[in-house]
Structure 1
Amino acid sequence: MSDTVPGRPRLAGRVALVTGAGQGIGAAVARSLYALGVSVAATDVHGAAVAELAERLAPQAPASGPIAAAAAAVRAYPLDVTDGRAVEETVDRIERDLGPLGILVNVAGILRTAPAAELTDEDWSRTFAVNTTGVFHTARAVAPRMAARGTGSIVTVASNAAGIPRTGMSAYAASKAAAVMFTKCLGLEYARHGVRCNVVAPGSTDTPMQRSLWTDADAPRRVLDGDLATYRTGIPLARIADPQDIADAVVFLASDQARHITMQDLYVDGGATLR
């Protein structure tokens, strides 16, 4: 019988590494995990951003109830996920500082937009370096440690663009699709060791990345209604996601409430891809 409290993920006392935690979805994930009693290693290439996040969260106690007794912490670690050695060293440091990692959430990502034939070599290579190789680096550093302990959860935040073509977003979509399949293959290899690996695929979410695509005041409406010129469907639920919507899905998959779920790709896009 599960000892999970109905309606509340059981996570208190665990340690999580969240990449891309300086803003948007990554910051929302870090906040949500900490509120549930998880000690969070918040990493980002922008060290000042995660330092500010840790400073904001540190004075706050975790949510009330049984989990409030957990001595949760938030610590900031500047990290460029494209640097494999730096990832290994940071993971070592996190485990010394906070304890064994039980959760890894890959959120770090960049977006370079251009028609496919106009992408530069740097656009292409940099997009894959962060969005795909970054996931490989963190998983390679963390998964064997989890396997040795017989438990762990890895969640990669990809994109619904990984499952449907987007004009002007070929590098981003391809990099996210690669990250999705890598995460599923990882899940297959590590399932026997008690490590679950899943994907959350957001659609349009109100983040700095999304807003960088809005070129005029009508842009949000086109996101909701769809855009024939770019072969894009709208959002059936008629709302742009809040980062917390994505964080809630990540927390669920990281928790024991999803203990029998692995190698899955959960779309959180308001029905935009009609899946």
Structure 2
Amino acid sequence: MSAAPELDGRLALVTGAGRGIGAAVAAALAARGARVVATDLAPGELPAAARPYAERITARALDVTDAAAVDTLVAETEESAGPIDIAVNVAGVLRGAPVAELTDADWAATFAVNTDGVMHVSRAVTRRMTARGRGSLVTVASNAAGIPRAGMAAYAASKAAAVMFTKCLGLEVAAHGVRCNTVSPGSTLTDMQRAMWTASGQDAETAARHIIEGDLTAHRTGIPLGRIADPSDIAEAVAFLVSDRARHITLHDLYVDGGATLRA
């Protein structure tokens, strides 16, 4: 007799689940038996990776920058589907520019999603988790939170803030049985990554090669493992951290970047 999937019966809330890493996370959790509320600003058809588990995934619209909307969705979810056991913050935006050219609007918009959104969702779900004495939360950040990147000051700063927020939250809720961790990806094959390549004027193959090989003029060391991550690589790390296999891990920042930052 085969064992039940490790997340069987658990309810997960995932933001930014319409594509890329968020969609991969939703699929990975559903594949392990979880019921998933997959939220996005404008959810559409389930991504291909998630379709085999469609019966376990419910798509909902959510603007994580709207604290009231977050509170409402979390309350409605718990009323209709039961207690949220797992929350994963994936929603994010990147507006790249040198600081001298960075607008106030771009800075504010970046923090509104990448930092404020993380706070809104995390606060809403952990309030309930602590009352129940259990739960796991993961924030998907970026290796840019730990190493400077030219042209990415707003993104890097917002992700660094999200990492430290999640760690501080984790410290506060640990005594209540709630674990909070972060996963920090490096370059990953997502629409965000492809948009950066388009903006640089490079074709995808050339841009990917430069990332893997490194670029001293951009102060990039390259990727020692010799490949760019697939969204599923990040999703597997998230799935581990929310599982009972990681029951004694909290306040941890797991880099999934093929060694690109040399863990600097």
Residue pairs, 1:166-177, within 5 angstroms:
166-177=149-160
Larger displacement relative to structure 2 (14-23 or 217-226): 217-226
Aligned to 1:128: 111
Residue 55 of structure 1, CA deviation = 9.7
What percentage of residue pairs aligned between the two structures are identical? 65
Residue pairs, 1:169-208, within 5 angstroms:
169-208=152-191
The answer to whether residue 202 in structure 2 is matched with residue 216 in structure 1 is: yes
Aligned to 1:69: none
8 Å Cα contact 2:23-2:49 kept in structure 1: no
Aligned to 1:46: 42
TM-superposition CA deviations, 1:17-74 (whole Å, max 9, x none): 00000000000000011111100000000222xxx1189856x459xxxxxxxxx621
The answer to whether residue 58 in structure 2 is matched with residue 75 in structure 1 is: yes
TM-superposition CA deviations, 1:154-211 (whole Å, max 9, x none): 0000000000000000000000000000000000000000000000000000000011
Larger displacement relative to structure 2 (92-101 or 127-136): 92-101
Q: Which SS does the other structure have where 1:100 is aligned? A: coil
Q: Indicate how the Cα distance of structure 1 residues 194 and 205 shifts in structure 2: closer, same or farther if over 3 A, else same.
A: same
2:72 to 82, 86, 89: 89
Aligned to 1:240: 228
Q: 1: distance between equivalents of 2:9 and 2:175?
A: 24
Q: Which SS does the other structure have where 2:110 is aligned? A: helix
The answer to whether residue 98 in structure 2 is matched with residue 102 in structure 1 is: no
Gaps of 5+ in 1: 63-71
Aligned to 1:261: 249
Gaps of 5+ in 2: none
Q: Which SS does the other structure have where 1:47 is aligned? A: coil
Residue 246 of structure 1, CA deviation = 0.1
Instruction: Tell me how many residue pairs correspond in the alignment.
Output: 256
8 Å Cα contact 1:19-1:106 kept in structure 2: yes
Query: Structure 1 length as normaliser, TM-score?
Result: 0.90
Aligned to 1:68: none
Aligned to 2:8: 12
Q: 1: distance between equivalents of 2:5 and 2:256?
A: 18
Q: 2: distance between equivalents of 1:80 and 1:103?
A: 19
Q: Which SS does the other structure have where 1:200 is aligned? A: strand
1:24 to 20, 25, 45: 20
What one-letter code is carried by the residue in structure 1 that aligns with 2:112? Answer: A
The answer to whether residue 99 in structure 2 is matched with residue 116 in structure 1 is: yes
What one-letter code is carried by the residue in structure 2 that aligns with 1:35? Answer: A
What one-letter code is carried by the residue in structure 2 that aligns with 1:53? Answer: L
Q: Which SS does the other structure have where 2:123 is aligned? A: helix
Q: Indicate how the Cα distance of structure 1 residues 91 and 97 shifts in structure 2: closer, same or farther if over 3 A, else same.
A: same
Q: 2: distance between equivalents of 1:9 and 1:257?
A: 13
Q: 2: distance between equivalents of 1:233 and 1:94?
A: 44
Kindly report the root-mean-square deviation, in angstroms, between the aligned alpha carbons of the 2 structures: 1.7
Aligned to 1:67: none
Q: Which SS does the other structure have where 1:105 is aligned? A: strand
Q: 2: distance between equivalents of 1:38 and 1:98?
A: 12
